Structure 1
């Protein structure tokens, strides 16, 4: 006999559960926006703050590090103190930090403000998923996650586009834009977010220390490895030593969590639920892939095709809009059919799309082909975010909803960090091979007297430096007459653009492999029917774990 589903799992004093979405989605939108909006402002920041590439790189790294290492902790904070106060605290902190970012007069102050912004983002993110899981009944949860996923899809491209519009006015405005959004979100949060039951247990301070320090060391090693050529940082401290120390602490964290059982920061029995574990693998894969696609692809658009930052962002605009349209439908569909099939469809589309991009990238490619391909990319991502979040959290009880959301978001974020490090390492190594090879080919078109100086000049240039510009980054070789210099510049530009395009295509193939891992993870998930999703139960991790 079927039982009617409640309008909400908690008392909202007559309001619809949909009333909680505006503040949650506005807060999440700001978080996603600030992961991408800074990229287009890098040259302007270097110029106006008198900073080098490494310093400006930390403007993003500081945000990424604090955001990634704190997600697990902040998820558990929501379980202990309630999602509402933790979300509101994060929202206030994020908004104030955005103001501080815009007012920063030096790159050092900007880095500190961005780190604080990351703390605010980490406080908010797990609470968005946790509150949706706990407020919406199972049969409406997928549709709510669909709206949440649409925000992710739209924000991925809004950042670069909005950044391209605001940077000419002043780089400060890429941060000031958060302030009115944060104020509106705060009004909605104080008015609409309910106070939910909390779990009265001892907070795992040892687990906090092990996880935060361990993840910081590991992420720092990945982020900064290339800065130190994967060698010595200072004295006896090496990049690999830092990463090994991080891994050792994370292993110790795992053993400590096993010892604490249900009182752990991340109860390991969360991973007894098959779909939770596989959703984490799939979430890691898709975030790795997002990094693996956009980093080399954006360089290709701006360098090989000569686009402005705004023009390069517009290439993906159609895909982002389609992602925002598809995501709610995918979320709603996951209430009617097993979510694994929607996720598998999304991964299947992305495997084909990224493979097609790898084949298309060339200096003479028609831009409309890239725009069309990115439209299909948007459809694929639209099928992923909402059903994956639903699959990861729908089987968790109220005591572990925050911990589960924290673990899922942590794995997603770490996927982006590893993706960034792996893609940069592969991309730069392929540049070092492909650009000289193309230079050797281009040299054949030059007068014989210019060939040797041309090739010698290429042999003394770091190919990764050429990825930031065209022929103007190529110095005039000694002994080349002025009347031959224009021909040499053309040959240099051809070599740089062709070598860069080949390196980008090869790097994208790594992303294809990671997306294939996500596809396999989705296919081996359990086909749990949507109406079997257990409502949060204070005595069980999930009502659907038996047999999985």
Structure 2
């Protein structure tokens, strides 16, 4: 086993590393979520109608393009960090991220579909930079801090990594309410300062181990995961008369070929001399079970964000008198208890796990999370906000208790020379979990809406004197269109019913159908029906994460001189 080599560094180097990597993770994670809540303003700014069938793909890739790029590349860049220098790859990532931030800020108003695809393309490239940051920041910190301070350091860094995804929702709402282009400008100062600072101060503290590039492993993993994630994106879109496309030849081919390539990746990695990812690391119990817990928690957490945005922007806020234009801002504000709970718990649990091990905090956090999901399912659609806020705080608290101890346990369990690829695998579970959550939770929600929404919409339109044939046609629109309308805080009735139809209705009916409350009332019961499916799944995922965290064992730090470390119970 190669011993860890520490270059001479000033005593304060670890704090320099912590502050810079925290800034990098904050910028990368804010960028990943900021569009979720600001898309209505962006679509208006570039001149796109969200419900046009040709724009559904744009909407999905606007959300998922950045996350797909980071999910696919973090393991590769983690291994490159081990081979070429973690600080070197991290610094390059900050530079790419910043260049793309500047390019995004130049999107013109009224550019239509061309501007939207430009945005998607640049965000995919920016995801390459984000993957370099995410894959190496954890390893840089693990190198810089002694093992009895890593929990605190990784806790603070994780506040930025995952807390930033919550903060991005608030910032997106605030900036979109002022000017949609500010959503892209916000990352420019972060990027410029962080890039200059990183190239000036960050240096590698371990000796890179140069190895031949595992091209077969990189290609089978990268292409396989890309195909699977594209298949998930395509699967939640309408297909013919079906609500979703999971049975379409295209989606089945994408998923089948993608999964076959991932199996081929596992075979390749078990046979090559210098693999992209050393599968032997999965023999280390805290590493393998820690990553299983991280993936389960990430899928549950990602789905929560989408469901809360739909619930607030599409239902609760309009029912309480907020205009659709201002719902993104207030949705971000009303979700603050989730962020506060996370920010309170994460550094504390990271610090305590250094002394008491990860198990009590990771297990306890996931049990608290499961309890909060069970309670959220019991709320009515028009809930009392203080109770809703308390449950959000509880959920954020549970996530915060889990994340830093889990990250520390994963990173402490591997040899120093393998920390880059270990950090890459951990980042893959976080990012791929986000993308998987979109496919899973949107599918569960669409199933729930398809069961109840068409009948409810047809009956409500007929009650407002819409002819039955017209009402039936409008109610036959794919459930995904109504789901996206709610996600964007957008009343689709003005598009589902043509101006000619609206002109034949009494003014009172037109005012009711196109007003603030008709669509939210229509969505409320079908949404809660789908929410039960989605949050039940989240609760199960949290319990799986709790069980995996228990199985990972107690406090354990890899012995650099031992060939086969055994986790402590």
User: 2:445 aligns to what?
Assistant: 427
User: Per-residue displacement from partner, 1:29-48 (whole Å, max 9, x unpaired)?
Assistant: 01110111012222232233
Q: 1:509 aligns with which of 508, 517, 536?
A: 536
1:288-437 superposed matches below 5 A = 288-305=299-316, 306=318, 308-362=327-381, 364-436=382-454
1:177-196 superposed matches below 5 A = 177-196=186-205
User: 1:33 aligns to what?
Assistant: 30
Native 8 Å contact 1:257 1:266 kept in 2: yes
Aligned-pair CA distance for 1:478? 9.3
Native 8 Å contact 1:323 1:378 kept in 2: yes
Aligned-pair CA distance for 1:458? 5.9
How far apart are the structure 2 equivalents of 1:59 and 1:471? 20
User: Per-residue displacement from partner, 1:415-467 (whole Å, max 9, x unpaired)?
Assistant: 221111011111111111122454588699x59x8796696356433333233
Aligned-pair CA distance for 1:212? 0.9
User: 2:117 aligns to what?
Assistant: 108
User: 2:112 aligns to what?
Assistant: none
1:111-260 superposed matches below 5 A = 111-196=120-205, 197-227=207-237, 229=239, 231=245, 238-260=250-272
User: 1:3 aligns to what?
Assistant: none
How far apart are the structure 1 equivalents of 2:71 and 2:519? 41
Native 8 Å contact 2:30 2:167 kept in 1: yes
Match of 1:334, SS?
helix
How far apart are the structure 1 equivalents of 2:254 and 2:421? 27
Native 8 Å contact 2:337 2:389 kept in 1: yes
User: 2:51 aligns to what?
Assistant: none
User: Per-residue displacement from partner, 1:48-87 (whole Å, max 9, x unpaired)?
Assistant: 3234342243223221221111111000010001111111
TM-score, structure 2 normalization? 0.86
Match of 1:319, SS?
helix
Native 8 Å contact 1:45 1:56 kept in 2: no
How far apart are the structure 1 equivalents of 2:122 and 2:511? 48
Unmatched 5+ stretches in structure 1? 1-7
Native 8 Å contact 1:397 1:540 kept in 2: no
Over the aligned positions, Cα root-mean-square deviation in angstroms equals 2.8
User: 1:475 aligns to what?
Assistant: 497
In the comparison of the two structures, how many residue pairs are matched?
529
Q: 2:76 aligns with which of 62, 73, 78?
A: 73
How far apart are the structure 2 equivalents of 1:56 and 1:13? 48
Native 8 Å contact 2:13 2:144 kept in 1: no
TM-score, structure 1 normalization? 0.89
Change (3 A) 1:545 1:319: same
1:99 aligns with 2:121: no
Native 8 Å contact 2:173 2:331 kept in 1: no
Match of 2:377, SS?
helix
1:269 aligns with 2:280: yes
Change (3 A) 1:328 1:478: closer
User: Per-residue displacement from partner, 1:150-206 (whole Å, max 9, x unpaired)?
Assistant: 223431222111112212333222122111112222233234322231113222122
Match of 1:70, SS?
helix
User: 1:545 aligns to what?
Assistant: 566
Q: Which 10-residue stretch deviates more, 53-62 or 396-405?
A: 53-62
Native 8 Å contact 1:354 1:509 kept in 2: yes
Match of 1:161, SS?
helix
Q: 2:43 aligns with which of 43, 46, 54?
A: 46
Aligned-pair CA distance for 1:517? 1.3
User: Per-residue displacement from partner, 1:348-387 (whole Å, max 9, x unpaired)?
Assistant: 111011111111141x211222112111112111112211
How far apart are the structure 2 equivalents of 1:491 and 1:103? 38
Change (3 A) 1:267 1:231: same
How far apart are the structure 1 equivalents of 2:406 and 2:296? 12
Match of 1:37, SS?
helix
Q: Which 10-residue stretch deviates more, 430-439 or 470-479?
A: 470-479
Q: Which 10-residue stretch deviates more, 32-41 or 89-98?
A: 32-41
How far apart are the structure 2 equivalents of 1:184 and 1:278? 37
How far apart are the structure 2 equivalents of 1:546 and 1:232? 41
How far apart are the structure 2 equivalents of 1:241 and 1:155? 35
Change (3 A) 1:406 1:232: closer
How far apart are the structure 1 equivalents of 2:466 and 2:107? 49
User: 1:4 aligns to what?
Assistant: none
Aligned-pair CA distance for 1:215? 0.9
Native 8 Å contact 1:143 1:331 kept in 2: yes
Q: Which 10-residue stretch deviates more, 248-257 or 171-180?
A: 171-180
Aligned-pair CA distance for 1:479? 12
How far apart are the structure 2 equivalents of 1:442 and 1:50? 30
Aligned-pair CA distance for 1:15? 2.9
Native 8 Å contact 1:257 1:268 kept in 2: yes
How far apart are the structure 1 equivalents of 2:226 and 2:447? 26
How far apart are the structure 2 equivalents of 1:101 and 1:355? 40
